[in-house]
Structure 1
Amino acid sequence: MSSVNGNQEESSTRDSTTGDILDSSVGSHADTLLKRMQHFVDNQQLCDVVLIAGIDGKRVSVHRLVLSASSEYFLAMFAGSLRESKEHEVTLGEVHGDALQLLVQHCYTGSIELHEDNVKMLLATAKMLQLTSAVAACCNFLARQLHPSNCLGFAFLAEQYSCTELLRVAQAYTCQHFMEVCHDQEFFQLNADQLGKLLSDDELNGPTEEDVFHTMMSWVRHDAPTREQHIPELLAKVRLPLLQPLFIVDHVENVCNASNECQQLLFEAFKWHLLPPERRSLIAATERTKPRKHICCGLLAVGGTDESLKGVTTIESYCPHLNKWTTWKQTIEYRCKLGAAVMNNKLILVGGYHERQVLNSVESLDLNTMACVPLNPMRTARCNVSVAVLGGHLYAVGGNGDDGSILKTVERWDPIARTWSYLSSMCTGRTCPGVAVLDLRLYAIGGSLGNRSMESYDPQTNYVSLMSAARSSPGVGLFGRCSYAIGGSLGNRSMESYDPQTNKWSLRAPMNRSNGEVGVTVANGFIYALGGLCDGYHTKTVERYDPTTDTWTVICSLAVERYGIGCALLGDRLIAVGGSNGNSPLNDVEEYDLVRNVWNQLAPMSVPRVRPHVFNIPNIIPPPPAP
């Protein structure tokens, strides 16, 4: 039973002329009037028009006033200059008598009894008669009955009668339960346009894009002689570049035949796979290269330091369609200040610091099998090292050596030869630099520079001797009446790029504001630097680097000021994870909408982290184990 009531609260007013109290119980008064009118209708008293159902000829006596107050359709009919305004009997074509009777009762009572066998008929009639409250009641009823066996039919019904909210709910339900819907008979009754719209939906929820392709082909084979002609237009809705190359060869090529449209789609997919990840951003992005939200990759947050400056040992995974972080696994070894990268579905852990020792060890965790194996150690022990993958090789950039020095050396791991080799050193030493790969070049951005200087402060003269500099984590001391600041790290706005063809580093335009501990990622051919330190203070500035013009541009700022941010690209959004506000580590997570130029808050991590390593992982990675 669905009902719409319009009763109002009771109110009392005083007649200023006579001084009497006039009780006006508006709600009960309206109920009484409607009940009396309903009684008149039931007994066919005082009715001024008879409605005749065009389908079965059923006659319903009513009051024009009540119908006109309930519906714009009847208001235009009875209060205007139409012929029906003067007629005693009005025939309503395409209306069934039982539906007409129930909807007339709804005008008098505000209630209507709905069942699975009458709701569709009532919806069609109520929509025609512009009884908006009855339409809303029917839509709400249908929304509560959604099931994989009927959601496509309900969506078609909602589209037919322009019920936008029911259409939205039915489409969302269809996408969410896609793998169940595609096995129901309703699915095979879709036409090519309807299936194309469904396959185009970014919300489509399937285990993999391979399943989406198989579903499309099952629809085609249901009536192959008439449906094979639609393969090119439907294949364009499948995100072929996201399919594995072997799958394309085994399953997709043999259905393409000689179609020019299909061949172009295959060429796009193979080109996407032939290019290394760092060059894919040069290709014009299409819907086919963008993972669906539910099939979309997730994130892994690895390492980082906690409030006590100890290494965080847990790995957390983020599910974008649940907006939820889950503890995924313990790290391989208790260590902090390590470098990390994902390479060929393996998590590579590089260097770090453990028990007062800087490490050169390297380990590989297979994200599919969870098997962990050691790799050959680096030639230099490094902590606070940054790691990136370029051209199938792993690069370890800068960091701190075992004597505390800030390194400008760079090493490269060859996974075929399984060896580390030195490359040309950077122009300057950097610890915790941001690293990025763009246009077949490796970029080292910001980081902290070593600082051997010492300055003293005399409180009597209020004078600072030697040079004055912003310092991160300096040594401080007191001797006599003077305070001393010794060493520490200086902020660094500089950026340099490495060309593997020439084995040379070249300076590029420096950042505008941030000068250390920035989070760095790449999207759509730009480098983004998030947060960081500016003259010793944490900032929420975000800058974007354009390699074609060698310029930095300040864009929309983060919501939270912080440095030591972990960054990754998830679908078409930049994700900023963790960091520090200068006093404590944060678990804040924000996403940047590149189109709208705004930052939005996401679910926080379970564990606050400074300098976490954050990676986009494919959906073939197994989900976290159950608690």
Structure 2
Amino acid sequence: MAVPAAYEFHWQSLARLPSGRVYHTLAEVGGQMYMLGGCDAAGRPCPGLDLYSPEGDRWIGLPPMPTPRAGAAVAVLGKQILVVGGVGEDQSPVKMVEMYNTEEGRWRKRSTLREALMGVSITVKDNRALAVGGMGADLQPRNILQQYDLRKDVWAQLPPMPTPRYDANAELLGNKLYVAGGRQCKRPLKALEVYDTETRSWTTLPMIPCKRSYGGVIWDTAGRMCLLGGLRQGGGHQSSKFTKNVNIFDTNQGAWLKSEETVAMKTKRADFAAAFLRGRMVVAGGLGHEPSALDTVEAFHSQKKKWEMLAPMTFPRCSTSSIVIRDRLLVVGGVNQVPSSAHEILYIKEEEYL
């Protein structure tokens, strides 16, 4: 498939959220987008569950979660959405686990975590959820790996990962679960580790070349992990700085590409939406050296080996939630001084969405 030209990408504003939302979680079931939880304008975690309907361009309110929460980990198991951990109404981690059946339209409480956790990273293998790391109520990171069995409704403890962390990026490629970065007590980590689901063992891989927080992570179709932008930690009394730096790890070679083999983004930014869309890495919005949130968007053309500017978002914002469904990038909510109710979609002009 040919990589689309920059001018072919087009933004369209869709129905705004019922209210401004940030730290919500998006999930796709059967090509439909669900939005779960998040914080409202007052910073309170909410129990909301909303479905976006392209027919009529509207949000449909569904039965709310039994436990209000923000920053929850979500796994889709068949037609069901498993919601794990997050931050509750008392601003503490949550141990409750709940599952929404999209066909029945109702919630069920499931077996809780052994302890309350936020910042859990979750993936799905063979209809089982793999939950890694997290931060406990004592604000300390965890090194746990646990597996949820839907049929038995039980959590099984698997071999712990070498490095305790929360808010890590977890990606499953075949039988390998890659866990990259994350944080310990607000400090970003350079750790990269992989768990083999067949041998049930962890391997430590070459560390991330630079410490960064609030960067973007994109996995391309060649099994490469691309770390983009973010805030680089200053040494000593130096302040953190926005970066446009790009690091790429090739899982086939088990090594990081040399710096001369990567191309830096055009704009220094952090806390942005990032996705692999139609053969391109795309980054949108975020924070940079401007006094307010960014609306700029850029995409990497692998043949030309360069970043190209796309049309800007209509609503500048950072801390958005985003998801790719049917080759379209949906960017939902976020912050522009206050929680945003903006909802936009990036797609190819010729392929009308609505």
In structure 1, the gaps of 5 or more residues are: 1-295, 320-324, 451-488
Change (3 A) 1:360 1:513: same
Higher helix share: 1
Of 529, 533, 548, the residue aligned with 2:227 is 529
Counterpart of 2:249, as a letter, is Y
Equivalent residues in 2 for 1:417-436, closer than 5 Å? 417-436=152-171
> What is the TM-score normalised by the length of structure 2?
0.64
State yes or no: 1:445 paired with 2:180: yes
State yes or no: 1:555 paired with 2:263: yes
Cα shift at 1:586: 5.2
Which residue is 2:299 aligned to?
592
Cα shift at 1:511: 2.0
Q: Distance in 2 between matches of 1:608 and 1:303?
A: 19
Which residue is 2:7 aligned to?
none
Q: Distance in 2 between matches of 1:311 and 1:374?
A: 18
Equivalent residues in 2 for 1:442-591, closer than 5 Å? 442-450=177-185, 489-524=186-221, 525-535=223-233, 536-553=240-257, 554-557=262-265, 559=267, 561-563=269-271, 565-576=272-283, 581=288, 588=295, 590=297
SS in 1 for 2:190: coil
Tell whether the 8 Å contact from 1:446 to 1:517 is kept in structure 2 after alignment. Answer: no
Q: C-alpha deviations, 1:74-118, integer Å up to 9, x for none?
A: xxxxxxxxxxxxxxxxxxxxxxxxxxxxxxxxxxxxxxxxxxxxx
Change (3 A) 1:387 1:586: farther
State yes or no: 1:335 paired with 2:98: no
Q: Distance in 2 between matches of 1:345 and 1:546?
A: 33
Counterpart of 1:513, as a letter, is C
SS in 2 for 1:422: strand
Q: C-alpha deviations, 1:17-68, integer Å up to 9, x for none?
A: xxxxxxxxxxxxxxxxxxxxxxxxxxxxxxxxxxxxxxxxxxxxxxxxxxxx
Of 115, 120, 131, the residue aligned with 1:380 is 115
Change (3 A) 1:501 1:579: farther
Q: Distance in 2 between matches of 1:585 and 1:351?
A: 31
Greater relative CO (CA pairs within 8 A, separation 6+):
2
Tell whether the 8 Å contact from 2:38 to 2:70 is kept in structure 1 after alignment. Answer: yes
Q: Distance in 2 between matches of 1:308 and 1:583?
A: 25
Q: Distance in 2 between matches of 1:366 and 1:586?
A: 37
Cα shift at 1:298: 7.3
Which residue is 2:149 aligned to?
414
Tell whether the 8 Å contact from 1:579 to 1:609 is kept in structure 2 after alignment. Answer: yes
Tell whether the 8 Å contact from 2:214 to 2:270 is kept in structure 1 after alignment. Answer: no
Change (3 A) 1:594 1:430: farther
Q: Distance in 1 between matches of 2:111 and 2:160?
A: 21
SS in 2 for 1:352: coil
Aligned residues: 281
> What is the TM-score normalised by the length of structure 1?
0.39
SS in 2 for 1:555: coil
Cα shift at 1:352: 0.9
Change (3 A) 1:568 1:490: same
Cα shift at 1:580: 5.0
Larger Rg: 1
Change (3 A) 1:576 1:299: farther
Change (3 A) 1:570 1:508: same
Q: C-alpha deviations, 1:290-323, integer Å up to 9, x for none?
A: xxxxxx967666556678755576768698xxxx
Q: Distance in 2 between matches of 1:380 and 1:449?
A: 18
Counterpart of 2:144, as a letter, is T
Change (3 A) 1:509 1:326: farther
Cα shift at 1:589: 7.7
Counterpart of 2:263, as a letter, is I
Tell whether the 8 Å contact from 2:295 to 2:316 is kept in structure 1 after alignment. Answer: no
Tell whether the 8 Å contact from 1:493 to 1:512 is kept in structure 2 after alignment. Answer: yes
Q: Distance in 1 between matches of 2:79 and 2:282?
A: 20
Of 90, 99, 105, the residue aligned with 1:364 is 99
Higher strand share: 2
Q: What is the aligned-residue RMSD (CA, Å)? A: 4.0
Cα shift at 1:350: 1.2
Which residue is 2:319 aligned to?
610
SS in 1 for 2:85: strand
Q: Distance in 2 between matches of 1:574 and 1:438?
A: 19
